[in-house]
Amino acid sequence: MTNKHQVLVIGGGSFGTVLADIVATNGHDSCLWMRDKQQADRIRQSRANERYLPGYTLHPTLQISTDLSSAIAAADTILFSVPSKVFRSVLDQVKGFIRPEQYLITTTKGIEPEHFLLMSQVLEVYFPNNSIGVISGPNLAKEIAAKHLAGTVIASDNADLRQRLQDLLQCAFFRVYASNDRYGVELGGALKNIYAIAAGLSAAMDMGENTRSMLMTRSLAEMSRLAVQMGANPLTFLGLSGVGDLIVTCNSPLSRNYRIGYALGQGKSLADAIEELGEVAEGVNTLALVKQQADKLELSMPLVDALYALVYQQADASTMVTSLMGRDQNSDVEFVLQRS
């Protein structure tokens, strides 16, 4: 290893913990910052994040910190791995400590409701002089911790940032691919949560594998249609951050969004589904935002329309299938044929 870097991961959840540990294992200085001092002390002593990754032993050189200013001062690369709902509040805490030469990367999958901003765009608002990147893909943290083979995408306009993240994170079981389509990569991670609801719904209604495959491919068409309107490359959605993330989310019964859809498919109300889950799944909020944006842009998104009617307007679950079969009968692969 020729260049040793100093990496800070902000956020002590499962994915942030795994990334920080891989960096340390690869021989770089790695620090995991978390807000909760008691939790940080427990992890230092036990060398395990039992709350999010039980049974997974952390690398002995991985530092655990609650001192934000010192942790930022020591870093040349900072990864933000916190929920979208607290993203701005975390940036408010760090904005006085960030230097222009530091690389800033987000792993957070979500859309900010006020202005339909992706998390990297929020980073740009706060830090317009920093190079910014996005990490996204089919990345179930517990599987990565178990060293099952996995891949992710690092997207940035800055080629040096992309190369640095590949050097920091690539290892025998975790492959890091590069992209310069930051919006496309990030949108894939945010939008797929909507369609996981549709997948859970179809499973509960016992629609069959033909239906599931149709739902997933039409979901991909809708995702890329919106992404192009926002300046993304539709080909990005053929990769890990698009179809890859869509597959893992739509086929995982453990996904919160899938479980919400499954409950709705059983005839439960949204309130009952949320109560059963214990929290609001990200896709429920994203659905409302995307519906509003699609209407504003006059985009054809029949699955979004049908899911919105089901989730927010108490429509019957069968309307999703009716909407899909009754509309959107133009081309198979989006952008290959011109719409008539």
Q: How far apart are the first and last CA of the chain?
A: 55
SS3 assignment, position 154:
strand
Length of the chain: 340
The distance of Cα 258 from the centroid of its chain, to the nearest Å, equals 15
268 belongs to the catalytic site: no
Query: By C-alpha distance, which of 218, 223, 194, 216 is closest to 311?
Result: 194
Catalytic residue among 192, 268, 291, 296: 192
The 3-state secondary structure of 208-248 reads: CHHHHHHHHHHHHHHHHHHHHHCCCCHHHHHCHHHHHHHHH
Kind and range of the H or E element at 60?
Answer: none
Query: By C-alpha distance, which of 58, 59, 36 is closest to 49?
Result: 58
Tokens 């740009």 -> residue: 124
Contacts for 42-47: CB closer than 8 Å, 24+ residues apart: 43/12
Residues assigned a catalytic role: 192
